[in-house]
Amino acid sequence: MTRLTDDLVRGVSGSLDSVDDMLRRTTGMGRMEMACDALGLSPGDISLEGFKAFAVPITSGLGVIKRFSESVAEIARKLGMDASVTESSDVTGFAEAVNAGAETVFMADDTTFAAYNVKAGTYANNSFCTAAGYTSALKGAAGGLEGRKVLVLGAGRVGSIAAGMMVRGGAAVCVADIETERAERLASAIGAKASDDIRKAISSHDLILNASPARIPGSIIREGAIISSPGIPHTFDAEGLSKATVIHDPLDIGTSVMAMQSASFSRLK
Ligand code: 2YC
């Protein structure tokens, strides 16, 4: 999983409203509607009345990312949760959250970012929720994916989950990855096609879910393409941004779906 940097997280807090605007403009859905659509729910299905959430800084591995927990809590607040960051980190922070009546606890080490629902005893996983969120965004921006050709760039965790979701949603999915055999393995597992020519694949698709760290030159992007892009780092050039609708943020969309999935474990009406 690609690890965020302090720099990437620094911008999240100040851009929550512009992410909501970008989502409405490109997909017709705001943060809450997109998050619920990603889960096959509608906003009315979940009551967040008195819902307490805590983000616990985790110091394992490469340690804490500056403002990561604060940004997660802010995103949860935007969705209507009573969310905050614990004083303590790690297990002590988890205990603090449970003692303070947490219904959901957000925690991320270098491998897993989870939103644990204390009441339901199960958790939402960031990889699944990021895949679901960016798939929902692509579907919204494209006006539906059934019968549409979609290119998935990157056969890692997020790309693999998203590719499977879109195949099940009736899209004609093509998978490409810098490691061709990884693309071929995923394609055969989900009943999709694989391409061994990434540049050709990009230049022949109007709909792209980019779950890779690749730098995609604008020169090979089709005019009017829609690129739903959880991939980090996010490096589209001016030509690419002028030709295509690019949907991206480093943390917000995945965390919003996680928050709503975690809440759905105990608050589904
Ligand atoms: O601040 C903390 O508590 C750190 N332990 C957080 C580490 C997050 C590592 N994961 C990532 O940077 C990316 C995020 C986009 C979510 C999933 N992977």
Domains and CATH numbers, the chain: 6-126+252-267 (3.40.50.12150), 129-247 (3.40.50.720)
pLDDT in tens, 40-51: 999 999 999 999
Question: Cα of 5 to ligand 1 centre, how many Å?
Answer: 9
CA of 1 to the centre of ligand 1 (A): 9
Centre of ligand 1 from the C-alpha of residue 204, in Å: 34
The β-bridge relationship of strands 193-195 and 172-176 is parallel
Local confidence band at 119 (pLDDT 50, 70, 90 cut-offs): very high
Pocket probe mutation, ligand 1, options 4, 71, 249, max atoms within 8 Å of Cβ: 4
Q: What confidence tens digit (pLDDT) does each residue in 125-150 have? A: 999 999 999 999 999 999 999 999 99
* For ligand 1, mutation pick of 58, 88, 113, 229 (most atoms within 8 Å of CB): 113
Which amino acid residue places its CA nearest to atom 1 of ligand 1? 64
Asked if pLDDT for residue 2 goes beyond 90, the answer is no
**pTM of the entire structure?**
0.98
Strands (E), 71-205: 82-85, 104-108, 113-117, 122-125, 149-153, 172-176, 193-195
| Ligand 1, atom nearest to 63 Cα | 5
Nearest residue CA, atom 10 of ligand 1? 3
Confidence class for position 1, pLDDT limits 50, 70, 90: low
71-90, pLDDT tens digit by residue? 999 999 999 999 999 999 99
What pLDDT is recorded for position 43? 92
Query: Is pLDDT above 70 for 98?
Result: yes
| Four-point Cα dihedral 216, 29, 71, 95, nearest 10 | -120
Percent of all residues in the chain with a pLDDT value above 90, rounded to a whole number: 99
Spatial distance between the Cα atoms of 66 and 69, rounded to a whole number of angstroms: 8
Rounded to whole angstroms, the maximal C-alpha distance in the chain is 55
pLDDT attached to residue 168:
98
Beta-bridge partner residues of 227: 208, 246
Average pLDDT, rounded, for the chain: 97
pLDDT band, very low/low/confident/very high, at 226 (cuts 50, 70, 90): very high
Residue bearing the CA closest to ligand 1, atom 4: 64
What mean pLDDT comes out for the span 31-47?
Answer: 97
- Angle CA(250)–CA(12)–CA(153) in degrees, nearest 5? 10
Q: How many angstroms is it from 21 CA to the middle of ligand 1?
A: 25
| Distance between Cα 3 and ligand 1 center (Å) | 6
Write the Ramachandran bin of 117: left for phi over 0, alpha for psi from -120 to 50, otherwise beta.
beta
39 versus 14: the higher-pLDDT residue is 39
Using most ligand atoms within 8 A of CB, pick from 126, 248, 252 the residue to mutate for ligand 1.
126
Q: Which residues line the pocket of ligand 1, CB cutoff 6 A?
A: 1, 3-4, 57-58, 64-65, 68-69, 108-110, 113, 126, 251
Spacing, Cα 109 to ligand 1 middle (Å):
6
Q: How far is the CA of 65 from the centre of ligand 1 (A)?
A: 7
- Per residue in 142-198, pLDDT (tens digit) is 999 999 999 999 999 999 999 999 999 999 999 999 999 999 999 999 999 999 999
